Structure 1
Amino acid sequence: MDIPNLFSVKGRVALVTGGSAGIGRMIATGLAAAGARVYICARGADKVAKAASEMDGDVIGLSADVSTLEGIAALVAEISGRAGALHILVNNAGTLTDAPIDTFSEDQWDDVIGLNLKTPFFLMQKLLPLLRAGATAERPSNVINIGSVGALKIGPREVYSYQASKGAIHWLTKSLAKKLSSDNVTVNAIAPGFFESDMTVITDDAMRKMVESMVPRGRTGTPEDVAGAAIYLASRAGAYVTGSVIPVEGGLAI
């Protein structure tokens, strides 16, 4: 039993979508610091290049629009030209709409469902040759979908398409895990709780106290919390875990 390397991701190749900010950046930073080569992508070329330059380790920023099949194809071609195998795919890119039920629009539904649910499936589908190329029975390749505590517990915000998309991601994760296990590809989801990011902003002390009072652990999430979960799933320690949804939310869903 190789305990010293049980949680190692050194030398693994990873792609983190939406990796220039928020939870994606937290995970990308952790994987790179742990020794993986990490590709991050986002729509803005300047933003993703700046983010990559600010991370320690082997991080490459790529401009990509994964909200369309054309954008997915272009990203897959770019990765394929740079790497013969992909070991870790983190489907993190996502969006959210908060709007009253009486005025919630079709666009607000379709935009969220498209990026949060359609994109992870088709990006993974197009990257399967690279994921299979990097997989062995001992060290499978790993797909990590970013779900949400919002699919485990209904909160106060009117984010109907977001909650629907994340609930679907949790079940899609299980379906894909069952299908791809024979290819030595594990598929799991992380369901984050309240992590401060561009999508979840704490505006004042009163809001912070309110949020923290809802969490049994008494605080919001830190980069180490979500990066640690991703590193576990992507390491040898997580090789026998597939089809699981791991809550990283301080007990918020209890």
Structure 2
Amino acid sequence: MNVAELFSVRDRVALVTGATSGIGRHIATGLAAAGAKVYICARTEAKLLKAAEEIAAETGGTVVGLVADLSTMDGIKAIAAEITSRERALHILVNNAGTLVDAPLDDYPEEGWDQVIDLNLKTPFFAMQKFLPLLRAGATPERPASVINIGSVGALKIGPREVYAYQASKGAIHWMVKSLAKKLGPDNITVNAIAPGFFESEMTVIHSEEMRQMVVSMVPRRRVGAPEDVAAAAIYLASPAGAYVTGSVLPVEGGLAI
């Protein structure tokens, strides 16, 4: 197998959740540029369709936006049914949709805790569950289907922000991939997590040059993450190059967790 084939995701069918911005958008863009057919989903239709159009224009790839509310079981079932009506198989599932609540420990709200745990932990599990028939249909011993959950450097190293539910949910994601990988390995499905460090997004905004320099000073690579950093990690895990990697957490954080 040549190198191009080794890292190829061409003609694979992928779903990336929460892909209108940030890590999800970077991964969706990378997969589309590499030749995968990419479905993206989010709750806000206008924002979703705009993102799908922009990613397709940027990459020349096939990108389809589907409105979905993954915070509910009905929403998860609906997106699974919609893609099942369009595709015979799903080869790549990227569970990226997530949120965080930053609040002082003494005042940390129960509602915020539940919202974060549900979207960051419950949703990836049940999305994977509902897509299992399509993932199994797309999996072979030579080309396994790939589930990629988005964890966080925040589950590898405790930072200064008070995001207790977020850290707990991402730590659970890191461990959940191991149990799922063990169960689904015989079905030719790999399950891994990517643990991104500091990538600028709607949830992680750099407000000033002073803040940028502070963040960069904590990263041994002396920069924040670039879109291609996380896109390349996802392509690796979803390609033949990553076919023997499962149950792993891949840090993409420039050494921040050291």
TM range (shorter): over 0.9
Match of 2:248 in 1: 244
Secondary structure of 1:99's partner?
Answer: coil
- The alpha carbon displacement at 1:126 in A equals 0.5
2:179 to 175, 180, 197: 175
In structure 1, the gaps of 5 or more residues are none
- The alpha carbon displacement at 1:198 in A equals 0.4
Secondary structure of 1:194's partner?
Answer: coil
Q: Is 1:88 the equivalent of 2:92?
A: yes
Distance 1:201 1:156 in 2: 15
1:110 to 111, 114, 117: 114
Match of 1:135 in 2: 139
Match of 2:25 in 1: 25
The one-letter amino acid of 1:137's match is: P
Q: Which runs of 4+ in 1 moved over 2 A?
A: 1-4
The one-letter amino acid of 2:203's match is: M
Secondary structure of 1:241's partner?
Answer: coil
Measured against aligned partners, the alpha-carbon deviations of 1:4-30 in whole angstroms (never above 9, x if no partner) come to: 310000000000000111100000000
1:125 to 129, 134, 140: 129
Match of 1:225 in 2: 229
Q: Is 1:192 the equivalent of 2:196?
A: yes
Distance 2:108 2:20 in 1: 29
Distance 1:136 1:13 in 2: 14
The one-letter amino acid of 2:43's match is: R
Query: What TM-score do you get using the length of structure 1 for normalisation?
Result: 0.99
Match of 1:211 in 2: 215
Query: What TM-score do you get using the length of structure 2 for normalisation?
Result: 0.98
- The alpha carbon displacement at 1:105 in A equals 1.0
Distance 2:122 2:176 in 1: 11
Distance 1:253 1:205 in 2: 23
Measured against aligned partners, the alpha-carbon deviations of 1:51-71 in whole angstroms (never above 9, x if no partner) come to: 000012100001000010000
- The alpha carbon displacement at 1:2 in A equals 3.4
Q: Is 1:147 the equivalent of 2:159?
A: no
